[in-house]
Structure 1
Amino acid sequence: MKLAFAATTALLLTACAGGLDTAHSDLQHQRWTLATVNGEPVAVDIGSELAIGEHMAISGLAGCNRFFGSARVEQGRLRADPLASTKMACLSGRIQRIETAVLTTLNQGAAISLDDQQLTLTGSDYTLGYRLAEAD
């Protein structure tokens, strides 16, 4: 009887976890700095970043605008629910290109590759390379 109860409890806990995989848990509670877009380095002064918090709440700086919302990981892909963002005018063309790449990739969804302190999000139009941000 105790064995059946333990087995049932383990099965229920696994089901309730919703299939959380290692990538999902490794993404949470991290802050990532954008390093490359399509393999090209991103200037440090742009400061684009992505923070992933509890329950996959995401926020960050796309280029010149801040964004926030929630995301989910399904079948190895990160996809943001419709994101809210500030609406400042980007004066620099290079910053606008970075912002477009980040927001497009998060909204359309991207395959996740997580290796040590590197996060790569590969979408249909852009590949974003992030590095784990230094702790403040």
Structure 2
Amino acid sequence: MKIAILSASALLLTACSSGPSTVDSNLMHHHWNLSAIDGEAIDTNIKSDLEIAEHLTINGLAGCNRFFGSATIENNRLLADPLANTKMLCAPEEQAIEQAVLTTLGTGAKINNKGEQLELIGEQHTLTYTLADWM
């Protein structure tokens, strides 16, 4: 009986310890600034960023509106659950960036994490973020 309980406990601990994948831990607790969309540098006057926190909660500035919510990572793809966001009026340049960010996060993107640079490669857009700092 004790062996069965110990075996079950070990199995449960192993399952629980799998937690986030190594990709998750390399993304969490970072502040990323958007530097390019589809290989084209964005205007430095337009601020867009992404923060990935504990349990894959995400938030940031898409173009001129803030967004927040949660995400999942499966098969090296980041997919945001439906995100909440503010609804301020944006300039056309900001709106184009915002649309690319929200579409890419909402439809899912392959993760290419190069340490100081993070690429989120979606079906329509590739977002390139630069590491700003640890959270």
TM-score when normalising by structure 1: 0.88
Deviation of 1:26 after TM superposition, in Å, equals 0.9
1:83-102 deviations in Å (ceiling 9; x for gaps): 000000112x2111100000
1:56-111 deviations in Å (ceiling 9; x for gaps): 110000001000001111110000000000000112x2111100000000000100
Distance in 2 separating the partners of 1:7 and 1:130: 44
Secondary structure of residue in 2 paired with 1:44: coil
The one-letter code of the counterpart of 1:38 is: D
Secondary structure of residue in 1 paired with 2:45: helix
Q: What is the aligned partner in structure 2 of residue 80 from structure 1?
A: 80
Distance in 2 separating the partners of 1:9 and 1:116: 36
Structure 2 unaligned segments of length 5 or more: list them. none
Distance in 2 separating the partners of 1:135 and 1:20: 18
Q: Count residues with an aligned counterpart.
A: 135
Q: CA, structure 1 residues 98+15, in 2 after alignment: closer, same or farther (shift >3 Å)? A: same
Q: Is the CA contact 2:29–2:134 (under 8 Å) kept in the aligned structure 1?
A: no
Matched, 1:103 2:102: yes
| Identity of matched residues, % | 52
Secondary structure of residue in 2 paired with 1:96: helix
Q: CA, structure 1 residues 61+4, in 2 after alignment: closer, same or farther (shift >3 Å)? A: same
4+ long deviations beyond 6 Å: 2-7
Q: Is the CA contact 2:64–2:98 (under 8 Å) kept in the aligned structure 1?
A: yes
1:47-126 superposed matches below 5 A: 47-91=47-91, 93-126=92-125
Secondary structure of residue in 2 paired with 1:133: strand
Q: What is the aligned partner in structure 2 of residue 132 from structure 1?
A: 131
Distance in 1 separating the partners of 2:102 and 2:85: 10
